[in-house]
């Protein structure tokens, strides 16, 4: 039975609460190009954003399908909804597993076709490489035989995928690739990876039982917590260095995300033995990632050429 016949909104299957990460990553890429004096038609910007969001949504639905197949979500009684443990729609009987698989494929197809049309419209073959790698990572993150999320590589994969959103948005606006978004996007990507690492703490027991070797499962609670802190500090160090090249004293702008990120780290270290208490830390970390990108956007727009 399809999701529509069961009355389940397709929107909920995409985990919309997380799509804001793609929105701010895309805005960051556009702002980097804008800062350099590049412009693009509104239609092009909206098309690129829609394709990026389709790719993110497809990855989320595909992840729900694969976690349902492995049993990771069904056996997860410690999840902090709606942040960890998937959407829960399959486990609550709201949608079938095969309907989820078909929907994931439909979203991937829409993303791929939209990307091809955008490449043809803009005559930018490099976008095909950037977007193609992003789609490939979204598939490889969840799906066998690679299933990178189960091999201790999920956090790195997710970080690279969102780094590509920043790089791709910049290239779309400029009309060609540039090294400019590398540093700005790296700090953001490290924070996105840290969000996934943090989210792995409540899910660790179920993930381990299902053979899903996230970094939290591989490293153990204490070492994974220190890795989280290292990622947070590395992200802000890179961002502070990159922002130092902006005029007008804007070097501190990306550090606006440091206080909520530090709060998340403190809560994580305090509640290592009680992952069910990590909701405030997860919320703070998600706020930090969005704030980081938006602070960059403001700084870049304010100092645009």
Q: What is the tens place of the pLDDT at every residue in 101-121?
A: 999 999 999 999 999 999 999
For the ranges 75-79, 135-139, 143-147, the lowest mean pLDDT is seen at 75-79
For the ranges 53-67, 219-233, 246-260, the lowest mean pLDDT is seen at 246-260
Stronger pLDDT, 68 or 50, i.e. the higher one: 50
What average pLDDT does the structure give for the chain? 93
For the ranges 4-18, 162-176, 220-234, 246-260, the lowest mean pLDDT is seen at 4-18
Question: What average pLDDT does range 62-90 have in this prediction?
Answer: 88
pLDDT category at 88 given cuts 50, 70, 90 is confident
Rounded Cα–Cα distance for residues 91 and 74 (Å): 6
Rounded Cα–Cα distance for residues 200 and 25 (Å): 22
159 touches 185 (CB < 8 A) = no
DSSP calls for 34-47: HHTT----HHHHHH
227 touches 214 (CB < 8 A) = no
pLDDT at 4 over 60: no
Residue entry with tokens 């909701």 = 279
pLDDT at 8 over 80: no
Residue entry with tokens 């499962």 = 217
pLDDT at 28 over 90: yes
Question: What average pLDDT does range 201-209 have in this prediction?
Answer: 94
Q: What is the tens place of the pLDDT at every residue in 228-246?
A: 999 999 999 999 999 988 8
- Helix (H), strand (E) at residue 217: helix 215-219
pLDDT at 6 over 90: no
Distance from the Cα of residue 203 to its chain's centroid: 18
Question: What average pLDDT does range 21-34 have in this prediction?
Answer: 97
pLDDT of residue 5: 44
pLDDT of residue 278: 97
pLDDT of residue 74: 82
pLDDT category at 7 given cuts 50, 70, 90 is low
pLDDT category at 305 given cuts 50, 70, 90 is low
């Amino acid at each position: 039975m399809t999701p529509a016949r069961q009355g389940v909104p397709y929107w909920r299957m995409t985990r919309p609460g997380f799509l804001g990460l793609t929105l701010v990553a895309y805005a960051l890429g556009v702002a980097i190009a804008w800062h350099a004096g590049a412009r693009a038609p509104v239609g092009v910007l909206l098309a690129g954003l829609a394709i990026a969001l389709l790719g993110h949504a497809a990855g989320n639905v595909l992840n729900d399908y694969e976690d349902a197949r492995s049993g990771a979500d069904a056996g997860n009684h410690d999840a902090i909804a709606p942040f960890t443990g998937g959407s829960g729609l399959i486990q609550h009987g709201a949608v079938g597993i095969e309907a989820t698989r078909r929907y994931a494929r439909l979203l991937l197809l829409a993303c791929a076709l939209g990307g091809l049309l955008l490449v043809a419209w803009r005559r930018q073959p490099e976008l095909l490489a950037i977007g193609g790698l992003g789609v490939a990572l979204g598939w490889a993150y969840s799906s066998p035989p690679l299933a990178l999320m189960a091999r201790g590589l999920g956090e790195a994969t997710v970080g690279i995928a969102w780094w590509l959103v920043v790089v791709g948005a910049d290239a779309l606006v400029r009309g060609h690739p540039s090294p400019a978004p590398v540093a700005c996007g790296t700090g953001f990507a490290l924070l996105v990876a840290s969000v996934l690492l943090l989210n792995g703490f409540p899910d660790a027991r179920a993930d381990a039982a299902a053979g899903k070797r996230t970094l939290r499962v591989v490293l153990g609670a204490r070492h994974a917590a220190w890795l989280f802190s290292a990622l947070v500090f590395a992200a802000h160090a890179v961002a502070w260095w990159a922002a130092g090249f902006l005029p007008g004293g804007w070097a501190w702008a990306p550090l606006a995300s440091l206080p909520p990120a530090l709060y998340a780290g403190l809560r994580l270290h305090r509640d290592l033995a009680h992952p069910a208490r990590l909701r405030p830390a997860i919320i703070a970390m998600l706020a930090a990632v969005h704030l980081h990108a938006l602070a960059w956007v403001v700084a870049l727009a304010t100092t645009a050429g």
